[in-house]
Chain A
Amino acid sequence: MKATKSGKKRLVPLQREQAVHLLRAMLRIRRLEETCAELYTASKIRGFLHLYDGEEAVAVGVMEALTPDDAVVATYREHGHALIRGVAMGAILAEMYGKQEGCSRGRGGSMHLFDDETRFYGGNAIVGGGLPVAVGLALADKMQQRSRVTCCFFGDGAVAEGEFHESLNLAALWQLPVLFVCENNLYAMGTALRYTQALQDLTKKAQSYNIPAVAVDGMDVLAVVSAARKAAKAVRAGAGPYFLECRTYRFRAHSMYDAELYRTKDEVESWKERCPIKTFTRQIKENGVVTEADIAAVEQDVEQEIQEAVAFAEAGSWEPVEDLARFVYSERRTP
């Protein structure tokens, strides 16, 4: 990684392997989300479903900076985070089906994906609710002298919550290893940032807590990788928390129930021009990093993974109703 003439940190020279890896990761999310939408329409998936199309570069870019020992705390729009963190696509889809083979045994659904092996701590439907938990995970690491990062994803809507401010203050006060990643997609559900924030520059808010904060183009996966690596490196080195604002956009409605009355088709279309997958693909093709054949191979692989994941979810089983009350309290408690 070195700085370009424009001062932007770039992964240059971008190797074919790395380019294919990033493209594959973003495509996996995109195709998973498209499949979820289809399955929702087919009534295979129910409940709230919040899709991530358009924001792929954020999850993919940030996750590049993490190691398996790190922890991830996410929101209700977390299919992509779970997938790229390493949760099997089949287990994610089975969860949305409500099958016991799901990563949360069908107890959580779309908004509450969990996985202990990859230290993926959900899946939180309360905007801002994951931030204090991330602070605590980082506190545990610091108290146990472990060099780990807790990465906390949240949207711009969470910035209006008290928990955002409490968490940033606490993390900065105690110099805790938290990487706060704000996915600023400009809308808190259906209300634009300008109607909810007196100060719309979110990095300034973080800076006011004495936290290093930068904004990055969340539609550019290389820019996100670069910024996230720098951020994670600082956090891992013990410099305390770091705030990364990824300016992004969701191409679909907030959820499947959303009629999208609050934004114009033109606005959505203009952002789609900046699609992180489309622009990245063009970039690596034009620069001769990958060939058409490479891209076709990736697409084919992803398609196969999708088919296998759907088959896995379809073949899954329902947890016996007799087990309804399991996992309210721990089973390993000895009375």
Chain B
Amino acid sequence: MTDGIVKMRTITYREAVREAICEALQKDHQVFLMGEDVGRYGGCFAVSKGLLDEFGPERIRDTPLSESGFVGAGIGAALGGMRPIVEIMTVNFSLLAADQIVNNAATYLHMSGGLFNVPLVIRSATGAGRQLAAQHSHSLEGWYAHVPGIRVLSPATVEDARGMLWTALEDPDPVLIFENNGLYNREGEIPVDAGPVDIDRARIRRPGRDITIITYSASLFKSLEAAEILAKEEVEAEVIDLRSLRPLDAPTFLESVARTHRALVVDEGWRSGSLAAEVSARIMEEAFYELDAPVQRLCSAEVPIPYAKHLEDAALPQVSTIVAQARRMVAGHG
């Protein structure tokens, strides 16, 4: 950076994650990557391609298909002074390791009265939209956001994909990072010297005055696209990227709602018991008298995500449904 001009470059989300892992491995010899197909195969989403050659099999560790075993091993390695990055191929498979994540990683610090913290980072792909059918398409990050003791991150932008990992590795507590598999090919601009980013605060990705759209991950880009369409109708939507799903940065969206007086939550999780339900409830509790219209939610249809494209599309929040819902909210009330 010179004279206030930030030099930018364009990379994909996949490259951003890969760079972040690479940098972490170079910076700290206690860091290692472990997971299914991360080494010889090159990562099932090609994120870790080439890392085995560069860092060797001790630090780029292929694991058997035993999620509970290797996630638990990650917890133990973290307790033993290492800084493991554990990759779980998709959030769907993380359920096999849910015992280790929820019963061990999230509880050790508290159950030990502060003696044993678990500085572990777990990365996992999440999300639908690639016709992979139910068992590869669910968005369960909201479930983990239910659990105290862990941090749950959801990078949407290339900058966050690049910057959240190091901050997470420096955190003394277990951090789960959910990367939407639909974003890996997405390009974005970041500063040439981009580095770590905070993992605490939500961000306003587009300022607006008429309605606040609160979202995260891949739905951020659908929401931003919807906001551009709405702008042509002179509806200015503010779009907030939650970034951290636990702990939630409620002040950022509550302040926004106090300005726009309308809130629409867009979440790829199922509606019942969703993260969107939590955000909605917090607005009701703390900003009810600011509202000119009831809080609305756009979530996935309450079905296992289907394979057929037209059905999958219909199951997910889309730009068109976001536009239509926002339009109704602005036109209908107050």
The total of chain B residues at the interface (CB under 8 A) is: 42
Is A137 part of the binding interface, using a Cβ–Cβ cutoff of 8 Å?
yes
Contact of B114 among A123, A131, A150, A331 (CB under 8 A): A331
For residue A106, CB closer than 8 A to chain B, the reply is yes
**Which of A136, A150, A335 is the most central at the interface, judged by chain B CB atoms within 10 Å of its CB?**
A136
Docked pose: A129 CA to B101 CA in angstroms: 11
Q: Mark A102-131, 1 if CB is under 8 A from B, else 0.
A: 111111100010111000011111100101
Instruction: Flag whether A309 is at the interface (Cβ < 8 A).
Output: no
Quick one: which of A103, A133, A162 has the most chain B CB within 10 A?
A: A133
Closest A residue to B201 by CB, please name it.
A335
Give Cα A238 to B58, complex, Å: 16
Given A136-B75, A136-B79, A129:B104 Cβ within 8 A: yes
Task: Mark each residue of chain B from 42 to 77: 1 if its CB lies under 8 Å from any CB of chain A, else 0.
Answer: 000000000000000010000110101111111111
The chain A residue with its CB closest to the CB of B68 is: A163
Q: How far is the CA of A242 from the CA of B113 in the complex (A)?
A: 32
Whole-angstrom distance between the Cβ of B45 and the nearest chain A Cβ: 23
Q: Is B72 within 8 A of A129, CB to CB?
A: yes
Count, A-B residue pairs, CB within 8 A:
157
A333 touching B112 in the complex, CB below 8 Å, given contacts A135-B73, A140-B76, A143-B58: no
Interface residues of A (CB under 8 A from B): 71, 100, 102-108, 112, 114-116, 121-126, 129, 131-141, 143-144, 150, 162-163, 166-167, 169-170, 173, 326-333, 335
Closest 6 CB pairs of A and B: A136-B76, A132-B72, A140-B80, A105-B113, A166-B69, A114-B112
* B220 nearest CB across to chain A (Å): 24
Are A132 and B113 touching (Cβ within 8 A)? no
Tell me the nearest residue of chain B to A136, going by C-beta. B76
B133, CB-defined interface residue at 8 Å: no
Interface of A is mostly: loop
Tell whether, in the assembled complex, residue A108 and residue B103 are in contact, meaning their CB atoms are under 8 Å apart: no
Shortest Cβ gap from B168 to chain A (Å): 11
14 pairs, A vs B, C-beta closer than 8 Å: A102-B113, A103-B113, A116-B116, A122-B111, A131-B72, A133-B104, A136-B73, A136-B77, A140-B81, A144-B82, A169-B69, A329-B109, A329-B151, A333-B171
**A167 touching B69 by the CB < 8 A rule?**
yes
Asked if residues A140 and B77 are in contact (CB atoms below 8 Å), the reply is yes
Within 8 Å by CB of B77, from A116, A123, A137, A162, lies A137
Contacts of B84 in A (CB 8 A): 136
**How near does chain B come to A327, taking the closest CB pair, in angstroms?**
4
Task: Flag B108-145 by CB within 8 Å of A: 1 or 0 each.
Answer: 11111111110000000000000000000000000000
Q: How long is the Cα–Cα vector from A264 to B263 in the complex, in angstroms?
A: 65
A332-B172 CB under 8 A given contacts A132-B73, A132-B76: yes
CA distance A144 to B73 in the complex (A): 15
* B76→A104 contact, CB < 8 A: no
B100, CB-defined interface residue at 8 Å: yes
Contacts of A124 in B (CB 8 A): 104
Given A122-B108, A133-B72, A143-B82, the answer on whether A170 and B113 have CB atoms closer than 8 Å is no
Asked whether B253 is an interface residue with its Cβ less than 8 Å from the other chain, the reply is: no
A166 CB contacts on chain B under 8 angstroms: 64, 66, 68-70
Of all chain B residues, which has the CB nearest A124?
B104
Identify the closest chain A residue to B74 (Cβ).
Answer: A136
